[in-house]
């Protein structure tokens, strides 16, 4: 009986705890009543712990959480003063990360940073620097976009190689690049280079195989001649 009663009480207390949980709307209502700037600043700092964010991302996150707009703007101003929020630094880091780990074309980079709320003038300046550093090349993204496109194709080389027909392989490569934000000129140039490189490699392998076969045949002929000379006199 004691165990049964104890279990009943625990079950009731558990149901009570569940019933006291606040809904998202209730949590937003409580946050809207907060008037301590330090609380909002701390919430913003926690949001920045995982990775760097744009100003718009922080503003959107705190606003959706329910904090008062004036306290949100105050937290953003303070974080900007501390150097923890800087859209130019954020965008530069984003572009460098993409170029290093997940190649994207300039079209995609612009689209991604626009979604992050980074001002277009900031993005224009950074992409101009990126283009100038890479030199001239096919397409609006210049040589740096072409190099990024080739890195992306190299990462998918095994899947693309399954397409035996060169024209089909080139179309698949073009489509892959287009999906990742490369302009038409860069897509065409990089996919053509990929097919040409694959054809050259196939030709070189074929030539090497022929040479190996010819050497093996010559060795066999020489062996036959030596055997004939060493035979009965």
* Sign of the dihedral defined by the CA atoms of residues 52, 120, 72, 21, in that order: negative
**pLDDT category, 130, cuts 50, 70, 90?**
very high
**Tokens of residue 105, six digits:** 């074309």
Specify the pLDDT at position 141. 66
Specify the pLDDT at position 13. 47
Element (H, E) at 171: helix 166-179
**pLDDT category, 213, cuts 50, 70, 90?**
low
Q: Are 92 and 128 in contact (CB under 8 A)?
A: no
Half-sphere exposure of 98 (CA within 13 A, CB side): 25
The CA–CA distances, whole Å, from 14 to 1, 6, 10, 181, 205 equal 20, 12, 6, 52, 71
Residue 165 or residue 201, greater confidence = 165
Residue 115 or residue 164, greater confidence = 115
The pTM score is 0.74
Question: Cα 208–213–214 angle (5° rounding)?
Answer: 100
5-62 pLDDT, tens digit per residue, is 454 444 444 444 444 689 999 999 999 999 999 999 999 999 999 999 999 999 999 9
pLDDT over 90 percentage in the chain: 68
Q: Are 92 and 168 in contact (CB under 8 A)?
A: no
pLDDT over 70 percentage in the chain: 73
Specify the pLDDT at position 133. 82
Half-sphere exposure of 74 (CA within 13 A, CB side): 14
Q: Distance between CA atoms of 85 and 59, rounded to whole angstroms?
A: 11
136-188 pLDDT, tens digit per residue, is 555 666 899 999 999 999 999 999 999 989 999 999 999 999 999 999 999 99
Specify the pLDDT at position 226. 59
The CA–CA distances, whole Å, from 161 to 158, 192, 194, 199 equal 5, 14, 10, 11
Specify the pLDDT at position 136. 57
Give which of 146, 155, 158, 148 is closest to 192, Cα–Cα: 146
Residue 140 or residue 123, greater confidence = 123
Flag the least confident range among 6-15, 63-72, 223-232: 6-15
Q: Distance between CA atoms of 149 and 139, rounded to whole angstroms?
A: 11
**pLDDT category, 100, cuts 50, 70, 90?**
very high
DSSP letters, 70-139, are HHHHHHHHHHHHTTS--HHHHHHHHHHHHHHHS---HHHHHHHHHHTT--HHHHHHHHHHHHHHH---SS
């Amino acid at each position: 009986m004691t165990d049964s009663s104890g279990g009943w009480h625990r079950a009731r207390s558990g149901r009570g705890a569940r019933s006291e949980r606040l809904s998202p709307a209730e949590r937003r209502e409580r946050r809207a009543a907060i008037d301590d700037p330090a609380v909002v600043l701390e919430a913003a700092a926690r949001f920045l712990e995982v990775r760097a964010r744009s100003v718009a991302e922080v503003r959107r996150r705190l606003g959706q959480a329910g904090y008062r707009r004036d306290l949100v703007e105050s937290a953003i101003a303070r974080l900007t003063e501390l150097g923890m929020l800087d859209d130019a630094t954020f965008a530069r880091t984003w572009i460098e990360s993409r170029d290093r780990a997940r190649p994207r074309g300039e079209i995609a980079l612009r689209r991604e940073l626009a979604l992050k709320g980074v001002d277009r003038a900031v993005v224009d300046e950074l992409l101009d620097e990126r283009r100038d550093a890479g030199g001239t090349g096919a397409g609006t993204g210049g040589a740096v976009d072409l190099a990024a496109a080739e890195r992306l194709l190299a990462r998918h080389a095994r899947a693309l190689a399954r397409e035996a027909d060169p024209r089909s392989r080139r179309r698949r490569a073009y489509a892959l690049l287009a999906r990742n934000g490369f302009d038409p000129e860069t897509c065409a140039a990089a996919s053509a280079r990929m097919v040409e490189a694959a054809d050259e490699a196939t030709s070189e392998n074929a030539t090497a195989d022929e040479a190996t076969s010819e050497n093996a045949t010559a060795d066999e002929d020489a062996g036959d001649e030596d055997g004939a000379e060493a035979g009965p006199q």
